[in-house]
Amino acid sequence: MSLLVVGLSHRSAPVSVLERASLSVDAKAKLLQDALASEPAAEATVLATCNRIELYADVEKFHAGVAELSTLLAQHSGVGLEELTPYLYVHYEDRAVHHLFSVACGLDSMVVGEGQILGQIKDALALGQELHTAGRLINDLFQQALRVGKRAHSETGIDRAGQSLVTFGLEQLASGAPVAEWASGKRALVIGAGSMSSLAAATLVRVGVAEVVVANRTAERAERLAEILNQSGGAARAVPMDEVAQELTRVDVAVSCTGATGLVLTVEDVAAALGLSAGAASDGAADAAEAGHVPQARTETDPNSLELHGTWADNGEAAAQAPPRVRVQDDAGKAVRLALLDLAMPRDIDGAAHRLDGVRLVDIESLADASADAPMASDVDQVRGIVGEEVAAFGAAQRAAQITPTVVALRSMAADVVTNEVARLEGRLPGLDAKQRAEITQTVRRVVDKLLHAPTVRVKQLASEPGGAGYADALRELFDLDPQTVAAVSRADGPKGPEDAVQGGTNGTTGAESAKRGRA
């Protein structure tokens, strides 16, 4: 196993760099294709979330792998290699496994213990399977990471150590007040209908908002989400994206998390929804620029943003006719007319909007700052113990698996020897009846099996220990096994299609359980 991960996260890089380095769906696919086309990588997948971008690969050489993967990340993220390099981290072999398992358990999340990362790891595996860039190692690793994450959440109280990014964001909007009290009676707009937006909508219903309005580029997805929310006891409806401007004048809180490459809500859009003058928006942008909070330029603009600008051109009258908003106080004691939660990376909402009078904006950057003071639960230590145990078990299983094709090839060679010798004996003793031939054949097979049993069991045990990879080579040399035969066994035992890979493994057992059962 030569697992390598190169990446950057909220722990290593400022949000402004993460925002610029974010990868679109097409960019992730091209990154993986180029990774496999490069010499060092045999298989790969990418884990890209709102606060991390990590490229996992099975590489032949460490230094060449680091150089190539770092270069590819820079090329496809659009951030120059010289600028990106100081923020990159590298993990190799067991340390890489430890890192992914920690990520899966929520130990490396912005909000410790959050469970959304499991869905994102599943998506990363599915992408590698879909593009056929995930081979045996990536499949085994990510499947096991999912099981380890589930084990951590089921066996410990890590969920008490943190919450979802959505809940954390709403707590920041509430400015210390109970979220349910803050949300009571409010109307909310959710822009987007993906996994994060859906979680945001469900959370808003759970904490007691009066109504949730869902807007999405694909109307069917927005309608489906609204239907689910209504079935769960909430009050929800779907609207087209071109009605976002109108809905923004009516709501008290807006949550946005789309895959747009351009801003979904500019400072001018927010000002218009509140009936503020264009000058107020300009002042907000200028103040933000002086404070160093300047939105990053985009290389593309979301087509829907162009449509929205037309509908937002004359929102003064709509804002005046909108029903009164539920007002709360911000940290400075000022009335908040519109609370904005931006969970997108790159951001959906212009950072300058927080300078507008009556607006409170919480985005990924402010969440990162706030999470530094988040409390840690005692369960974290227990989860770390689980991660350590599972890393050791996974490493042992992978090392043992490396020798399996050699053992299979050895037993296949022994079976051929038995067959040939029995056939030779039949030629010399043609008078043997069927019962005698069967007895002789069975005796020879038992002798061969007994001779091979102890060394093959022992070599698997030795191979599962650190530094045991050389035992497979020794076995091949001692018995003069054909390398092509061993390679054929490896190919035949490799991962099948995506469905088999997702269902594969040890029938839902953890790596530690599998290792214990194997030793037994």
Give the catalytic positions in this structure.
50
Q: How many CB atoms are located within 10 Å of the residue 97 CB?
A: 26
Q: Which residues pair with 301 in a beta bridge?
A: none
Tokens of residue 67, six digits: 């150089």
Maximum CA extent, the chain: 109
Q: How far apart are CA 72 and CA 75, in angstroms?
A: 5
Q: Which of 244, 237, 227, 232 is nearest to 207 (CA)?
A: 232
Helix axes 195-207, 116-130, angle to 10 degrees: 160
Decide: 393 and 141 in contact? Cβ < 8 Å: no
Selection from 178, 249, 219, 143 nearest residue 498 by Cα: 143
- DSSP assignment string, 365-429: HHHHHHHTT----THHHHHHHHHHHHHHHHHHHHHHHHHHHHHHHHHHHHHHHHHHHHHHHHHH-
Could you tell me which residues come within 8 angstroms of residue 169 by beta carbon, excluding any fewer than 6 positions away? 255, 341, 343, 362, 367
Asked if 191 and 215 touch (Cβ cutoff 8 Å), the reply is yes
Axis-axis angle for helices 136-155, 116-130 (nearest 10)? 160
Distance CA 129, CA 258 (A): 24
User: Helices (H) and strands (E) in the chain — how many of each?
Assistant: 24, 12
Q: Give the residue carrying structure tokens 């018995």.
A: 479
320-323: list long-range contacts, CB under 8 Å, 24+ apart. 320/275, 321/249, 322/249, 322/250, 323/250
Are 113 and 106 a contacting pair, CB within 8 Å?
yes
